[in-house]
Amino acid sequence: MSLRSGIVRLFQKTLSTQNVQRQRVHSVAVIGAPFSKGQKRHGVEHGPAAIRSAGLIDRLSSIGCNVYDAGDLNFVHVPDDELYKNTIKYPRTVGLACQRLAKEVNRVIGAGHICVTLGGDHSLALGSISGHAQHYPDLCVIWVDAHADINTPLTTSSGNLHGQPVSFLLKELQDKMPLIPGFSWAKPCISASDIVYIGLRDLDPAEQFILKTYNITYYSMRQIDGIGIQKVMERTFDQLLGRRQRVLHLSFDIDAFDPTLAPATGTPVIGGLTYREGIYIAEEIQNTGMLSALDLVEVNPILGATSDEVKATTSLAVDIVASCLGQTRECARRTIHELPTPDTAFESDNEEQIRI
């Protein structure tokens, strides 16, 4: 660690002590977003239910969170919304869903909760980040994903909007974005320096061009292999939080993990994050004390070849959310204030022996 990075890290931890303590007993709102029209694979709309069934609410309660389950949002499929300009799929439906989610995220953050959005496909991040930014316009974003999701409607080859949400969010791309139906409400709310990608390994040529042209920071799996996840997180926080403390939005696509760990997802790419790397990312974000909202998306229980594959993927999703909100690997969830002594530990046994 360089001297500058060490000083920055110490400064961050000193300033955020109160935030960290607050977040040990924080209030968490869980929003289910059962939406699939940003991509082509049926089943991702069942992601929120599958993650809840894997024990998310109980896990968060067990680590001291006050959990408010806001339930699932209802999304409308707009009639006659198949293709726009023979390319973009379901634009009105996706745009309306993101607008609906933005309002709900803004509402629960305004009520003092940390917001957990369960997807659903990754197009929803346009809504969650937009809603978050309405309350915290100076927020920054950590995007953990195998994909950059930064194609524009003019560069996409698939037409799937789950591969485009970041392009709608970036101010630098505002003049590159055509007006498409369903998105008139969406306004860019972050700059290129406000986002860092972690885990990339499957980029389209246009996405590579955008990342390089606008100097957007990203750490591919090759870079993670080279410098290690600890250095990646140090550099990420140095960029996003080094000059000023501001809230974080984490957008985590389960396909950031290697498919051997998270097989039940729509666009798996081999060579992804290990379990330890993913949990380390979440733990380090929690340690900043600045996490205000997170997305956990692209869990698709229909695509698990077996029940064990579905269980592995949903359990991993629960672990990531819980690690972001205070679960650690160092100790048990319950605290202990005093060690038992033989007198207290065996008091009942001694009484029984005396009676005998």
Tell me the catalytic residues. 122, 145, 147, 149, 162, 253, 255, 298
Provide φ and ψ at 70, rounded to 5°: -80, 0
204 labeled binding residue: no
CB 209 within 8 A of CB 154: no
Quote the tokens at residue 29.
């709102």
Quote the tokens at residue 150.
């930064």
217 CB burial (10 A radius; 0-12, 13-18, 19+): middle
Cα 22 off chain centre by:
20
255 labeled binding residue: yes
Quote the tokens at residue 7.
């000083």
42 labeled binding residue: no
132 labeled binding residue: no
How far is it, in rounded angstroms, from Cα 42 to Cα 49? 15
CB 91 within 8 A of CB 178: no
**Tokens 């591919």, located at residue:** 220
Closest by CA position to 51, among listed 350, 301, 303, 252: 301
69 labeled binding residue: no
Cα 274 off chain centre by:
16
135 labeled binding residue: no
Dihedral angle over CA of 158, 159, 161, 162, nearest 10: -10
How far is it, in rounded angstroms, from Cα 4 to Cα 21? 26
Q: Which residues are annotated as a binding site?
A: 122, 145, 147, 149, 253, 255
Q: Which residues are annotated as a binding site for Mn(2+)?
A: 122, 145, 147, 149, 253, 255
